[in-house]
Structure 1
Amino acid sequence: MRYPAPQINTPSRVVVAAFLAVIAAGTALLSLPVAVAEGREASWVSALFTATSAVCVTGLAVHDTAAHWTVFGEVVILTLIQVGGFGIMSLASILALIVSGKLGLRARLNAQAETKTLGPGDVRQVIAGVAKVTLTVEAVTAVVLTARFVIGYGEPLGRAAYYGVFHAVSAFTNAGFALWPDSMMRFVGDVWICLPVVLAVVAGGLGFPVYAVLRKDWRRPSRWSLHAKMTLGMTAVLLFGGALIIMILEWNNPETFGPLAPGLRILAGFFHSAMTRSGGLNSVDTSQMHENSWLVSDVLMFIGAGSASTGGGIKVTTFALLGYVILAELRGEPDVTAGRRRISEQLQRQALTIALVSVAAVVVGTLVMMMLTPFALDRVLFEVVSAFGTVGLSTGITADVGAAGHLVLTTLMFIGRLGPVTLGAALALHVQTRRFRYPEERPLVG
């Protein structure tokens, strides 16, 4: 008896359908009159844009969050942010389990070693672990921010707690939403605000598989999985390297770092570098940064954060794997190795596919936005990469790209949030065996 072949991409479809349902619900709630401040109105496009930006933890905004939305609207946005951030970490980690269950025994054991799970059925354990990490980091960050708002700025405890919770959730989920029209610019010199936000953003960008490894063997780095080593290593390199380059480029810019004391310039540099990991908040006016700083930010935003994290981009492990592929080819080595481990050809192709498809999405999105808006290439490219990387930083053109432009950015946010995750899972699951191989031929390259 013949049975129909299973639909191996069903898990990816479930993830996409779930996020579409949450976005639809958020759009409906934000379209209600009770969600919009008196004297303002929200079109379905702006409601859809805001809901997508919140669920996809991006942070791009058509309207000033505090001025345009009521407390009800802000709570809806906060809820969408939390659902989106928690959901992407949980679903991405669960997809790793599903992938491990669909592969062969050796590949399954390797995948389980990377995620430190007991088996494909440990869904409850994964969700509980993600919840613990999420609530712990958000609670600690909220307490520190609340105390600072009360002590340093004289805010009433209730309002301070509301600000603390909102921005703690926004930071850990890498959402990029703030309750001030200048984002975090008024706190550019406040270490007790900027540093907790940076740490929360970095923590959210590591991903649950890394926390699972650290929980068991944090004292013995030699026993960490390759995934954890690559994620932590690349995060450190991009964070400190990006901060150094941004500081060099913006050190004397009178519109950004120039007026700050040297110590605060360093703080602002680290803040901006961390936000390009997918954080989306800004402590200086991004629209006044030099064009070369925008280009550096584009690269950092495109790479993004860790796999199964709240951050976006193609992910640091994808970028690192491509680097190892290039290094092996330059050395003429037959195998691609990293940390005394051989990288499978299948994984190399997956990384290459994700990177090139992402490049295509950015190029097409930029071309369409150039056709729809009057803005220059550098600003449009920054906006497109920020949307695709679910970052939320902007050069100030988000509100002025028109309804068609908002729909394009909405599509990019959705693709950028779920594209790398679902594409990676679909490629891993869609493994086929062939009983024959074609003759080999070597066309010229280069």
Structure 2
Amino acid sequence: MSQYSRELNVALRAVHLASLLTKQHLLTYQSTTKRVDESTKADASEVTVADFAAQAILISIIHNVFPEDCFIAEESSDMLRTDEGLLERVWELVLTASELLKTSEASWAEDSVDVKLSSSKEEMVSIIDLGQAGGDGKPSASNKRTWILDPIDGTKTYIRGQQYAVCLCLIDEGEQRIGVLGCPNLNIDQRSEKGRVMIAETIVDLKPDGGWILSTVKGDGTYLSQMNTPVVRQKLEDVVGTIDVAQMQPVNTTETHPDVTLGFTDSSASPHVSKDLHNRIFAHFAPSGSSKSNTRQVSSPAVPEGSPSLALDIWSQQLKYVLLTLRAEGADAMVRTPPYSTYHAAVWDHAGGQLLLTESGGALTDARGEAFRVDGTMRKLELNWGICAVRGGTHVGRSGETLDIKAVHNVLFAKVNEEVDNRRKARLEKGEKD
């Protein structure tokens, strides 16, 4: 039994309830007003009523069991303190969670977690603000246990009824120890001719208790649970199968730079990546004779017309880790190269999903080849820049040989490094900042 068994159990309870609540809220508004509640934040992203309610639920459940632990979360209560109407709607949704809790208790018959939610609007607001550690909040020392959460990663697609994730990660002793992602709209029933899971923004599970939960404890591998039977954790391979070519011999040297075709998951609508640089990387690993980076294109309504086509154009950053973890059709790799060297991503967009990927056998570094470092005191990934990730399972070279995953990651990183270096030199020649 893992030393984090109780923490995992509590995390699963929290993510499960928050996932059910966000899904119910979405379906209710889709069937009545054809939209969900949304407001505009200063950073131009949408915040929904469900966002605030889900954060209150996640923190409430964990804080009740582990009162000494710290939290880093995306949302603050600033909007709620100045908008009584918004506050009332969030509170009404949290009250709905109490009813959901009663109906979902049967799914956790043998569970001993004492689940408590906020008992007043004032308590709910205070609970939400427990997530404002890090940065100017200056939380406890880096050796304190910290839960990083994103109540809804992918609000832009959530309000369209597409893919989103409820994300939770425990940081202990400077490392990601537990990762739990609830994906209420995730439908993995469709398979490609190769037997790989087919995932897209528009391939959704519309059932109120539909979707999946992905979970892991460092060193224990990645598991999946159906939302309607959350206590049944199935090994990744038992759900999605394996990608193996048994009759071929793997290349077991990390020095080898193989000739390999890779499909990429990305978000062409993201303002935080260098699209031209990405397109050159995608084209480099495209199938022979193809001018495009991928052969199967699934477009998202969130993507503006004229954006470059991708095999898996997914808005939510955490869902990209899910696609690689599940070894979805078309999702062999992911790169993220921000427009400038000073840009650092929010920690809640990556914590947890990264652990799921590496525990599933994937390879992951930042775009500079460094391992990711998350110590629980930062709201940004200040020690890392960009992403270079490859899914687990077997990779096949253009000549049909199977390839060691380290070799595949090496050749991808080499191309990323080449493109980033060329961009830096070009900017310096023009007197521009990098």
- Comparing both structures, which one devotes a greater share of its residues to strand? 2
TM (normalized to structure 1)? 0.23
TM (normalized to structure 2)? 0.24
- Comparing both structures, which one devotes a greater share of its residues to helix? 1
Higher relative contact order (CA 8 A, sep 6+): 1
